[in-house]
């Protein structure tokens, strides 16, 4: 399944280029899945994405000229999680582009990769370039919000609007005392992930200790990735590598440099913090207070607006779709 070609550079060295095909993961996505092939770090990789046209009865139904919005998924999510938002954005005249990042979901899962937010932003930009998109709104949730911030910093002329939905990275966990965790230990944790552990985590951080049957979809989606017969271990390892990525690569110090029109959307009952699980209690107590972090972030990003949802957790767009999208469209319509 993986093909390898080596370039002999000198008698004693050979750099090998490996083709890692798209994931065989067969979870059904709501729109056709396309692949953007890229060569990165001597790997030939495929990045899966959905490209949802503006609805034909919306004001701007021409895909070429419609405003584009890019939806960036979180670490425990996939492009498919955005189905509801994408439908609503398409109905309001947007072309909606929904990539799966390398290592995630339907994209190639390298057995090792130097993950950085910069690399993922660069990959995402190469997808936009391949489609000739020169201006876009960037909306990111959770890890996707941290990535959206990095994207906006690297591509300020492309990023017209930045929308952060319960992003992670609003504080520098390591500076607050979270110990670094060796990747093999994170990998061992990832290998143990199952329905029970994932649901317990999501219930406590995403849904304010409540549960509805429809949340099971997103737990089972994730479980099926860990259980993939051929690449479940590669997925688990990529998840360990991306835990290290978000822990070691803060964006928080650069919020004042963001140029895009920005909306920060925060379910204030969220308590997500990378490394909380392996931190001592006195460190745990300082982390992930989103009722403080949202306000701080909106103050640091020039001109940013803040919307808080007082009774929602880490996934406000899932937990109360109507309220979340009403706030999103109110802002989009107003700021133009």
Ligand X SMILES: *[C@@H]1O[C@H](CO)[C@@H](O)[C@H](O)[C@H]1NC(C)=O
DSSP single-letter state for residue 328: H
Q: What DSSP assignment string belongs to 176-221?
A: GTPPP--HHHHHHHHHT--HHHHHHHHHHHTSTT---GGGHHHHHH
Give the distance, in angstroms, between the CA of residue 167 and the centroid of all CA atoms in the same chain. 9
If one asks whether residue 323 binds ligand X (CB under 6 A), the answer comes out as: no
Contact range with ligand X by CB under 6 A, out of 18-26, 52-60, 208-216, 233-241: 18-26
> How far apart, in whole angstroms, are the C-alpha atoms of residue 149 and residue 54?
25
> C-beta of 229: minimal distance to ligand X in Å?
6
Contact range with ligand X by CB under 6 A, out of 82-90, 212-220, 287-295, 314-322: 287-295
Q: Which residues is 45 bridged to in the sheet?
A: 20, 38
Angle between helices 232-248 and 183-191 (to 10 degrees): 130
> C-beta of 322: minimal distance to ligand X in Å?
26
- Choose, by CB under 6 A, the member of 39, 209, 210, 220 that binds ligand X: 39
> How far apart, in whole angstroms, are the C-alpha atoms of residue 184 and residue 122?
27
What 3-state DSSP class applies to 293?
A: helix
> How far apart, in whole angstroms, are the C-alpha atoms of residue 57 and residue 157?
30
Instruction: Compose the 226-265 pattern: x for residues touching ligand X by CB under 6 A, - for all others.
Output: --xx------------------------------------
If one asks whether residue 291 binds ligand X (CB under 6 A), the answer comes out as: yes
Residues 118-137 that bind ligand X (CB under 6 A): 131-132
Contact range with ligand X by CB under 6 A, out of 61-69, 138-146, 177-185, 244-252: 61-69
- Choose, by CB under 6 A, the member of 13, 26, 57, 157 that binds ligand X: 26
Chain positions contacting ligand X, by CB under 6 A: 3, 5, 17, 19, 21, 26, 35, 37, 39, 44, 46, 62, 64-65, 131-132, 192, 194, 196-197, 228-229, 289, 291-292
């Amino acid at each position: 399944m993986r093909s390898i070609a080596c370039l002999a550079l000198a008698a004693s060295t050979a750099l090998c280029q490996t083709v890692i095909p798209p994931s065989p993961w067969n979870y059904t996505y709501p729109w056709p899945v396309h692949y953007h092939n890229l060569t990165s770090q001597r790997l030939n990789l495929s990045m899966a994405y959905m490209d949802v046209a503006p609805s034909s009865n919306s004001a701007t139904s021409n895909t070429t000229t419609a405003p584009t919005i890019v939806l960036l998924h979180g670490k425990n999510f996939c492009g498919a999680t955005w189905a509801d938002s994408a439908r609503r954005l398409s109905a309001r005249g947007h072309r909606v582009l929904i990539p799966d990042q390398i290592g995630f979901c339907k994209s190639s899962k390298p057995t090792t990769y130097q993950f950085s937010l910069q690399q993922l932003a660069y990959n995402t930009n190469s997808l936009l370039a391949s489609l000739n998109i020169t201006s876009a709104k960037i909306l990111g949730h959770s890890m996707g919000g941290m990535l959206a911030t990095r994207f906006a910093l690297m591509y300020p002329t492309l990023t017209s609007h930045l929308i952060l939905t319960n992003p992670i990275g609003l504080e520098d966990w390591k500076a607050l005392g979270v110990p670094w965790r060796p990747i093999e230990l994170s990998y061992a944790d990832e290998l143990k992930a199952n329905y029970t552990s994932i649901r317990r985590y999501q219930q406590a951080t995403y849904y304010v200790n409540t549960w509805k049957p429809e949340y099971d979809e997103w737990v089972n989606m994730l479980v099926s990735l860990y259980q993939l017969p051929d690449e479940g271990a590669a997925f688990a390892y990529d998840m360990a590598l991306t835990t290290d990525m978000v822990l070691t690569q803060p964006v928080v110090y650069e919020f004042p440099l963001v140029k895009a029109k920005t909306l920060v959307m925060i379910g204030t009952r969220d308590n997500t913090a990378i490394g909380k699980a392996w931190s001592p209690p006195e460190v745990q107590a300082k982390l992930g207070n989103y009722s403080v972090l949202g306000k701080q972030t909106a103050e640091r990003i020039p001109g940013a607006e803040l919307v808080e949802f007082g009774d929602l957790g880490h996934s406000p767009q899932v937990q109360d779709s109507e309220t979340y999208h009403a706030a999103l469209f109110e802002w989009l319509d107003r700021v133009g």
